Amino acid sequence: MPSLAEILREASQQLEAVTDTPRLDAELLLAHSLAIPRSKLLAQLHQEQIIPESFPDLIQQRMNHAPIAYITGTWEFFSMELIVRPPLLVPRPETEHLVEEALNFLGKDGGEVLDLCTGTGCVALAIAKNAPNTHVTATDLNPVAIEVARQNAAKYKIDLTIHQGDLFNALTPNTPKFRAITANPPYVEDAAWDTLDPVITQHEDPKALLSGPDGLDCIRRIIDQTPVHLQSGGFLGIEMGHEQGQAVSDLLRQGGFTNIRIVQDLGGRDRIACATLRACEEDLDIEI
């Protein structure tokens, strides 16, 4: 009977052809098949183990480029284990920077927050869970996203308002303005689709990724429409492609935003655009 270490070694060798993290992937899949935490698996590496019946199938799914999150059905984001279902985008570590920037802005005062293109609800739920005095509304065009976001909100007993629809069009009439708006929208150039990792192109939803010839179609719409829905001095945070920082900064400047900052991810690449909506004269109560 092989040890857990031997099972992992063989699985890792198989996975080298499809992933840059074969050992980690093997550990996650073996732990899932044994229904134990990965930490417990690593503590028992020299223990002999009958190979679980489900494990070869899990490895084969990964060999077919299925994301680990689709195979296991969950993924960790901002210390929450979230339900993930295809074809929703798997929550990525760089998106945590968007949550951090929103939390820094909200501080202890909190307020009403809107999360566009919510997907699994990862950004909306992380903000709602960690920002005091805050209520979050989330929107998404995909009905699968609406269902999964609701499931994740129920799992953590978070009061999340969720609407299905296209960006701001999903909101009910006369919705009050928000103090902060976040979005992880589609931002990949249409022509770049064939260059993306097979994990993406074979499994994830292209509508959640592609956004016109320069990848900025959705971001333009968000920036154009945000002033109608955001309080003066309110926060807008948008995830973007690592080569879009200057273009998004220009769009924000032209759209009436100030305090524009580009936040880099842990790889040193531009990732999050942050800005506040410039106060208009009537908000400042200035007599002309």
Please check whether residues 112 and 247 belong to one and the same domain: yes
Please check whether residues 265 and 164 belong to one and the same domain: yes
Please check whether residues 57 and 98 belong to one and the same domain: no
Please check whether residues 23 and 139 belong to one and the same domain: no
Judge contact between 240 and 272, C-beta under 8 A: yes
DSSP H helical ranges for the chain: 4-15, 22-34, 38-42, 55-63, 68-72, 96-106, 122-130, 143-155, 198-201, 217-229, 245-254, 281-284
CATH of the domain at 118: 3.40.50.150
The answer to whether residue 82 sits within a structural domain is no
The answer to whether residue 114 sits within a structural domain is yes
The answer to whether residue 75 sits within a structural domain is no
Please check whether residues 49 and 145 belong to one and the same domain: no
The number of distinct structural domains making up the chain is 2
The answer to whether residue 72 sits within a structural domain is no
Contacts of 170 (CB under 8 A, 6+ apart): 139, 140, 141, 163, 164
Domain boundary (48, 64, 80) is at 64
pLDDT for 13 equals 96
pLDDT digits (tens, 9 = 90+) for 3-57: 999 999 999 999 999 999 999 999 999 999 999 999 999 999 999 999 999 999 9
Please check whether residues 127 and 52 belong to one and the same domain: no
The answer to whether residue 76 sits within a structural domain is no
Please check whether residues 26 and 125 belong to one and the same domain: no
Please check whether residues 29 and 139 belong to one and the same domain: no
For 145-212, the DSSP string reads HHHHHHHHHHHTT--EEEEESSGGGGSPTTPPPEEEEEE----B-GGGGGGS-HHHHTTS-GGGTB-S
The answer to whether residue 183 sits within a structural domain is yes
Sign of the dihedral defined by the CA atoms of residues 153, 270, 204, 197, in that order = negative
Residues of the chain where predicted confidence (pLDDT) is lower than 50: 281-282, 284-288
Residue 25: which domain range? 4-64
pLDDT for 244 equals 97
What predicted TM-score, i.e. pTM, was given to this entire model?
Answer: 0.91
Please check whether residues 133 and 259 belong to one and the same domain: yes
The answer to whether residue 83 sits within a structural domain is no
Judge contact between 152 and 126, C-beta under 8 A: no
pLDDT for 277 equals 96
CATH of the domain at 41: 1.10.8
Please check whether residues 279 and 144 belong to one and the same domain: yes
Residue 213 zone, left/alpha/beta (φ > 0; ψ -120 to 50; rest) = alpha
Please check whether residues 135 and 226 belong to one and the same domain: yes
The answer to whether residue 130 sits within a structural domain is yes
Please check whether residues 142 and 231 belong to one and the same domain: yes
pLDDT for 280 equals 66
pLDDT for 153 equals 98
**DSSP 8-state code for residue 51:** P
